[in-house]
Amino acid sequence: MTETYGIAELAKEFGVTTRTVRFYEDKGLISPTREGQRRIYSPRDRVRLRLIMRGKRLGLSLDEIAELIDLYDSDPSEVTQLKQFIDVIRERKTVLEGQKKDIEESLSEMNRLEKQCVQLLSQKQTSK
């Protein structure tokens, strides 16, 4: 028997409110089973939540995240579909590589700024 989770449990784990978790369900991002009224979440739902959170950290909208999750889930059998699928993956890779470049630029600027500051600081403190 596989593990299950309650809504409050998952919400706490990912640092969001239960409202948020239910909202993701409305959006079709997760589909817990029910036990009477209560929502029961599977490990699979938990993985999806993890993907959602990562997507959000990367600045994606919930709709975009939904598409990506569909990507993971889908299992294209037709050759045509498979080709389209590869295209989507490559597009996504391009976007990610662009973001990575943005981040690396920002990081190197931050490092430059930090260096300047540290140097300035040591000057001020020795001349004191």
The contact set with a copy of itself (CB under 8 A) reads 54, 57-60, 71-72, 76, 79, 82-83, 85-86, 89-90, 92-93, 96-100, 102-107, 110-111, 113-114, 117-118, 120-121, 124-125
- Region from 1-9, 77-85, 91-99, 105-113 binding DNA, contact rule CB under 7 A: 1-9
What residue 6 binds from a copy of itself, DNA, none (CB within 5 to 8 A, per partner kind)? DNA
Cα 78 to chain centroid distance, Å, stands at 29
Q: Are 30 and 49 in contact (CB under 8 A)?
A: yes
Q: Centre a 10 Å sphere on the Cβ of residue 124 and count the other Cβ atoms it contains.
A: 9
Q: Are 32 and 41 in contact (CB under 8 A)?
A: yes
Alpha-carbon distance of 5 to 22, in angstroms, equals 14
Q: Quickly list H helices, 15-42.
A: 18-26
Range list of β-strands (E), 7-127: 33-35, 38-40
CB of 78 to DNA, least distance (A): 29
What residue 102 binds from a copy of itself, DNA, none (CB within 5 to 8 A, per partner kind)? a copy of itself
Q: Which is nearer to a copy of itself, 40 or 60 (CB)?
A: 60
Q: Which parts of 56-85 interact with DNA (CB under 7 A)?
A: 56, 61-63
Alpha-carbon distance of 10 to 35, in angstroms, equals 17
Chosen residue from 28, 31, 33, 38 binding DNA by CB under 7 A = 38
Enumerate binding residues for DNA (CB under 7 A): 6-9, 16-20, 22-23, 27, 36-39, 56, 61-63
